[in-house]
Amino acid sequence: MRIYSLLLVLILFRPELIQANDTLSVRQCRLLALQNSPLQQKKLYAESVYALQTRNIQSSNLPRIQVGGQATWQSDVFGLPINSPLFEIPVVPKDQYKLSVDAAQRIWDGGSDRYLRRQRELERDLTAAQVDVDVFQLREVVTDLYFKALLLQESNVILNTSKEDLNNRLKQAEAAIAQGVSLRSNADQIKIQILKTEQQIVGIQSDMSALKAMLAQWIGREKPDFELLAPVANSAPLQGEKRPEYQLFALQQQSFQLQKDRLHLLKQPRIEAFAQGGLGRPNPFNFFETDFEPFLLLGLRASWTPFDWGNQRRDAEVLAIQMKNIDAQRLAFEQRLQANNLKDERDFNEKYKQQLDIDDSMVRLQEDIIRRADAQVQNGVMTMTDYLSQLNILTQTRLNQKTHALQMVQAQEMLVARNRSEK
């Protein structure tokens, strides 16, 4: 009783004792592939760029300060063409120097900061949307890879079952040979068939290991130490969720619309206050002060372009055409998506279901043939070669049945991968 209690505690606290190998479903693999994609880092980079650009927009409202210096020599200078005995007329030096500090404070810019901030937000969102589009495409890749590996995994099970049946038949043949009622050639033919089956198993296991290693890379596993869970087909309707491409198209439209809205800012006046102060030789505002003298300049300045010769109108037309181009891309995407969905829906609802019905009938008939052939071999009516030929047909029929069953589920899962996100 104490031993049973200890085993129960181990099972409760060590669930891996129940299931030694990790088992992953196709939807788990899709989620892991999305989470482990290096492309997700681009969203973080976009956030960092947006934060830095926002700081730049905010700092643009602060005064702009510029320090400048100038040293020149000129061949001629300003001078009065007179002489006065009453006072000395200063001579402007030909070598001149100037050290100044310029400051400017923006007063009105037409409200461009608001549009610029919105543009930076759209650039961040566009980057995130493009990442979602790129990552979403991994879902179909992972789904296809998963089912290729799963088909080999299930084929491996069928071939091992066939090998086990052949081993049982070999034991029966060895017993019959020992009793003198069967020929050694019958056992040898069975052994040859066992070797062929083992050869198939080796090839399948090698291919399966390679595919699982590729799948492990996509889902962020160091080793392919997991089993694949065969999903079950169901007729539940898809709950449509918009693919990320629609969000990308919408953001691209918003970006062009924002650029179109900003065009009217080109006709807005720009007003700013400015100041300039420093030392100059001579004083740049009074050439009669020929030594280093301080100077100061304060003022307002404005700029305005009332006429652009139709440039704004043409730019608006260009942006309108680009918005129509986005609409065309969206319609083409919808057309391609609907065509792919239609094929997978028909494969799921018609093609593979009909094939599976035929496969079920073929497997039942071939199993009946094997049961009769087994009795015929024991009675010496059928040769071992003919019996093994019928057994190969049964194995191939079962493989076809499993292939069509997985293809039917894959068609449904491709619809899910293409149209719906797992949360």
- Quick one: average pLDDT of 161-167? 91
Residue 2 pLDDT > 80, yes or no?
Answer: no
Distance CA 32, CA 145 (A): 14
pLDDT in tens, 45-71: 999 999 998 898 888 888 889 999 999
Residue 353 pLDDT > 90, yes or no?
Answer: no
Residue 277 burial (CB count, 10 A): 14
Closest CA to 26 of 161, 175, 185, 153: 153
- Residue 322: the pLDDT is 93
User: Confidence band (pLDDT; 50, 70, 90) for 20?
Assistant: very low
**78-87, 127-136, 172-181: segment of lowest average pLDDT:** 78-87
Residue 380 pLDDT > 90, yes or no?
Answer: no
Token pair in block for residue 420: 């719906």
User: Confidence band (pLDDT; 50, 70, 90) for 234?
Assistant: low
The residues spanned by each domain of the chain are 28-72+92-419
* C-alpha torsion 37→43→44→50, nearest 10: 170
Edge-first strand listing for the sheet containing 270-281: 64-73, 95-108, 270-281, 293-303
- Residue 421: the pLDDT is 57
- Provide the pairing of β-strand 22-24 with 226-228: parallel
Mean pLDDT of the chain: 84
User: Confidence band (pLDDT; 50, 70, 90) for 320?
Assistant: very high
Q: 33 and 139 in contact (C-beta within 8 Å)?
A: yes
User: Residue 386 in 3-state DSSP?
Assistant: helix
Distance CA 42, CA 54 (A): 18
User: Confidence band (pLDDT; 50, 70, 90) for 13?
Assistant: very low
- Quick one: average pLDDT of 325-331? 94
What sign does the dihedral 255-260-266-270 (CA atoms) show?
Answer: negative
User: Residue 256 in 3-state DSSP?
Assistant: helix
Token pair in block for residue 8: 């129960």
Distance CA 153, CA 410 (A): 15
Distance CA 372, CA 384 (A): 13
pLDDT in tens, 76-126: 887 777 776 766 777 788 888 999 999 988 888 877 888 889 999 999 999
- Residue 335: the pLDDT is 92
Q: 268 and 73 in contact (C-beta within 8 Å)?
A: no
Residue with tokens 């409200």: 111
Residue 278 pLDDT > 50, yes or no?
Answer: yes
- Residue 129: the pLDDT is 93
Q: What is the DSSP code (8-state) at residue 168?
A: H
- Residue 9: the pLDDT is 36
Asked if omega into 237 is within 30° of 0 (cis), the reply is: no
Percent of the chain whose pLDDT exceeds 90: 36
User: Inter-axis angle of helices 26-35 and 184-219, to 10 degrees?
Assistant: 40
Closest CA to 150 of 232, 220, 217: 232
- Residue 422: the pLDDT is 55
Distance CA 28, CA 38 (A): 18
Give the homologous superfamily in CATH for domain 28-72+92-419: Outer membrane efflux proteins (OEP) (1.20.1600.10)
- Residues listed for the chain: 423
- Residue 150: the pLDDT is 92
- Quick one: average pLDDT of 167-186? 84
> pTM of the prediction?
0.74
Q: 57 and 116 in contact (C-beta within 8 Å)?
A: yes
What sign does the dihedral 17-19-21-27 (CA atoms) show?
Answer: negative
User: Confidence band (pLDDT; 50, 70, 90) for 18?
Assistant: very low
Residue 5 pLDDT > 60, yes or no?
Answer: no
- Quick one: average pLDDT of 196-212? 93
